[in-house]
Amino acid sequence: MTKFVTFFSYRPETWERLVSKPSDRGSAIEAALASLGGSVETVYYMTGEFDGIVIVDVPDATDAAAISIAVSSTGAFSHVEIRNLIAPADMPAVLEKAGRAREAYAPPGR
């Protein structure tokens, strides 16, 4: 499984519907992810630039893209941004690969 974080912001009309009919959105999020073989680690609402975050585990990046497109297509969100998360224990391997790639990469003008 691959871990992703999604930052989201609702449209004003979505907030209006939520205020008029409060509900726990966790079950809807869990159902959407389960349909792709994924699961929810946590959901938090927050103040500031984004209205909330969702941390999920999905089989791969195509599943993360699919869930992002699915929720964006509903029109309920003004912003959905998804990012891959890298565990600290995995970072040394990432850095080793980055070193190999940097040696093989020719910057512009060289």
Q: Are the beta carbons of 3 and 53 closer than 8 angstroms?
A: no
Judge whether residue 75 has pLDDT over 90: yes
Count the alpha carbons within 13 Å of 55 in the hemisphere toward its beta carbon: 7
Task: State residue 95's pLDDT score.
Answer: 97
Structure tokens at 58: 């999905």
Structural domain spans, the chain:
2-104
Mean pLDDT over 65-79 rounds to: 96
Mean pLDDT over 17-39 rounds to: 94
Count the alpha carbons within 13 Å of 21 in the hemisphere toward its beta carbon: 4
CATH of segment(s) 2-104 = 3.30.70.920
Instruction: Please state, as a whole number, how many other Cβ atoms lie within 10 Å of the Cβ of residue 57.
Output: 17
Judge whether residue 110 has pLDDT over 90: no
Residues 37-70 pLDDT 10s? 999 999 999 999 999 999 999 999 999 999 999 9
Judge whether residue 79 has pLDDT over 90: yes
Distance between CA atoms of residues 51 and 30, nearest Å: 18
Task: State residue 20's pLDDT score.
Answer: 97
pTM for the predicted model, two decimal places: 0.87
